[in-house]
Structure 1
Amino acid sequence: MASALIAAASIVLPTLAHAQAAAPAPEHTFTSNIGFASEYVYRGIGQTNRKPAVQGGFDYAHSSGLYVGTWASNVSWLTDGNSTVSNSLEMDFYGGFKNTVGDFGYDVGLLQYFYPGTGYGNNPNTLEGYVAGTYSILTLKYSHSFSDLFGWVGSRNSGYLDLTANYELVPSVNLVAHVGRQKVNGNSSDGASYTDYKLGVTKDFSGTVVGLSYVTTNASSVWYTNLLGKDLGKDRVVLSITRTF
C-alpha cells in the first residue's frame, strides 16, 4: 500500500505542479505605485533643483499586450527663478503595446507630458512616440518628439536614444547601467544636445524597491543652468524608494 501511494504521488504531484505553472495570466491587470526621490532627474537633467520629489502612478495592462497608464511628480524647473510662470506638477499619460517574440521583447507607444500652469513662453507640453526592444539584460529605446521638446523653440522631431542594462547581481539586487543621447533640434550650435550616463543599484524588498544611482551628463552649463544659478546637468547621487501595489 505504501509503495502504491508513493507511486500515485509521483504521478499526481508533477501533474499538479504542471497545472499550476500553466495557469493563464489574468486578462486585466491593475497596478499602482508611489515613490520618493531625493531629486527628480530625467534624462540626466534635474527637474526639482536638487530638492526631493514625491511621485506616483496607475497602470492598466491587458493580456493581449495593450496598456495605458498615468504618472505624476512635483517639478520646479519651469518656475525656478521665473516669477511669471505658475507650475509645480508634471503629469504623464501613455499607452502602447508590448509583447515578446521568442527571447526578444518589444514595446511601442505614445507618451504625453503635461505641465498644468500659466505664464509660459513656448508651451512645455510634449508628445513623444517611442519604440523599444529588449534582449537578455539589454533594452534599446528610441523616443521621438512630435511637438516642440519641453518648450525648446523649433525643436519638433527631436530624438532620444538610450541603452540600459539591468543585471541581477544576486536575487532581488540589480545593477543598472544606462547611457542616453538627447538630440535637440532647432539649435544651430547644437549646444542643447547632450549625452547622459547613470550607474546604480536597486534592491527589491517584496515590492518596495530602493535605488541608489550616480547620474552625470556632458550637457553644456551655458544651456542648462537655471535662473537660480544651478547647473541642472551636473553630476549627482540620487536615492529613490518606490512601492508597487
Structure 2
Amino acid sequence: MDYRYLIALSILLGGCASQPEVVEREIGQFDLKLGTAPTRSMAQGLVQPTTASTFRGGLDLAHDSGVYVGQWSPSVGLFDGSQLELNSYVGYAQPRFDDSVGYELGVIRYSFPELETRNREEYYAGINLGSSRLGGAMSSALGRTDSTLFLELGALRPFDVDVRMKYASHSMDSPMYHPGGSVRVFNDWSLNLSRRLLGMQMDLSYSDSSLRGAQCSVYSGQNAYCEGFMMFKAERSFF
C-alpha cells in the first residue's frame, strides 16, 4: 500500500477531514494533539495553503519544558493535480499554558516526496500577548529567498471574529521570465476571518499579490492564486 494512503487512513481514524476539532491527550509530561487543522500557532501561520485538500491532518507533541515537535500534511496527494506534502517542525515556546507575554521559535521542514527540488527549511520566531501573536520567518532555498510576516489578532469583540494576516516577500537569485518580461522580486499577502456560528466553522479569506496578467505565469508564492481571490468556506462536524 502506498504510504500516502496510510496517512489518509490515519487522518480518517483521527477525525473527519471536515471536522477542524482537535483531539488532545496528556501522556506523562507530554501533551499530544491530533487534528485536521494545524494546532501550533506559528506553524499554522506558515504552512503552505492548498486549494482542494480533502484529506489533511497532523499531530503536535509538546513537553512541559516548552519543547515541541510536530508534523502537518495540508495535502495527502490522493487526487489528480495534488501532491503529497509533509511539513515537519520542531521548536520551543514559553510560556505554554497562560496568556501572559511569551515567545516561540523553531524551524519547519517542507517536504514534497514527489518533487524533492521543492524541499526547504524555514526558520521562524514570534511573540504572543494573550490570544494575539506576531511572528516572522525566513527561508532560503536553491535560487530564492522568502520572508514572511504573520499576525494573528485572536477573537475581536463584539463579533467574536478571529483575524489572521500574512505578508510575504520573495526574491529570486535569477529573473523568472514571462511573455512580457521578467520578475525577480514580488510580494503577496492574505487575510482570513473565521468564526463559529450555528454549529459551523465559517471562514472568509482574501489573497492577492503584486503580480498581474502575464506576470502570474511565473508566480510561486504562498497563495493558491496569483491575483485577487476571495473564498468563503463553511464546515460542520457531524460526529
Question: Shorter chain as normaliser: what TM range?
Answer: 0.5 to 0.7
Whether 1:103 and 2:91 are equivalent positions in the alignment is no
Please provide the CA RMSD for this pair.
Answer: 3.9
Structure 1 residues 165 and 242, CA gap change in structure 2 (3 angstroms):
farther
Answer whether contact 2:76 2:84 (CA < 8 A) is retained.
yes
Q: Which of 172, 186, 189 matches 2:173?
A: 186
Whether 1:61 and 2:62 are equivalent positions in the alignment is yes
Give per-residue Cα distances to partners, 1:129-154, cap 9 Å, x unaligned. Answer: 10011124432111111423xxxxx1
The aligned runs of 1:220-239 (5 Å cut-off) are 220-221=211-212, 222-225=214-217, 231-239=225-233
Which runs of no fewer than 5 residues in structure 1 stay unpaired?
1-24, 36-41, 81-86, 149-153
Match of 2:12 in 1: none
Structure 1 residues 236 and 70, CA gap change in structure 2 (3 angstroms):
same
Match of 1:161 in 2: 149
Match of 2:209 in 1: 218
Deviation of residue 75 (structure 1)?
7.2
One-letter amino acid of the counterpart of residue 196, structure 2: K
- Give 3-state SS (helix, strand or coil) of 2:36's partner: strand
Structure 1 residues 242 and 70, CA gap change in structure 2 (3 angstroms):
farther
Structure 1 residues 72 and 233, CA gap change in structure 2 (3 angstroms):
farther
Whether 1:147 and 2:148 are equivalent positions in the alignment is no
Structure 1 residues 108 and 46, CA gap change in structure 2 (3 angstroms):
closer
- Give 3-state SS (helix, strand or coil) of 1:88's partner: coil
Q: Supply the distance in 1 between the matched residues of 2:236 and 2:46 (Cα, whole angstroms).
A: 19
> How high is the sequence identity, in percent, across the aligned residues?
17
Structure 1 residues 46 and 92, CA gap change in structure 2 (3 angstroms):
closer
Answer whether contact 2:124 2:138 (CA < 8 A) is retained.
yes
One-letter amino acid of the counterpart of residue 36, structure 2: I
Q: Supply the distance in 2 between the matched residues of 1:242 and 1:65 (Cα, whole angstroms).
A: 32
Deviation of residue 162 (structure 1)?
2.2
Structure 1 residues 224 and 125, CA gap change in structure 2 (3 angstroms):
farther
Answer whether contact 1:43 1:180 (CA < 8 A) is retained.
no
- Give 3-state SS (helix, strand or coil) of 1:116's partner: coil
One-letter amino acid of the counterpart of residue 62, structure 1: H
Q: Supply the distance in 2 between the matched residues of 1:213 and 1:166 (Cα, whole angstroms).
A: 15
Question: What is the aligned residue count?
Answer: 190
Of structures 1 and 2, the one scoring higher in RCO (CA 8 A, sep 6+) is 1
Q: Supply the distance in 1 between the matched residues of 2:46 and 2:68 (Cα, whole angstroms).
A: 23
Give per-residue Cα distances to partners, 1:60-117, cap 9 Å, x unaligned. Answer: 00011000001112277xx85xxxxxx6211111010000398312110010000111
Structure 1 residues 238 and 94, CA gap change in structure 2 (3 angstroms):
farther
Q: Supply the distance in 1 between the matched residues of 2:46 and 2:228 (Cα, whole angstroms).
A: 12
Q: Which of 87, 91, 96 matches 1:92?
A: 87
Answer whether contact 1:196 1:218 (CA < 8 A) is retained.
yes
Match of 1:135 in 2: 129
Match of 2:189 in 1: 196
Deviation of residue 163 (structure 1)?
2.1
CA radius of gyration, larger in: 1
Answer whether contact 1:44 1:215 (CA < 8 A) is retained.
no
One-letter amino acid of the counterpart of residue 70, structure 1: Q
Deviation of residue 209 (structure 1)?
7.5
TM-score (norm 2): 0.63
One-letter amino acid of the counterpart of residue 195, structure 1: D
Structure 1 residues 95 and 44, CA gap change in structure 2 (3 angstroms):
closer
TM-score (norm 1): 0.62
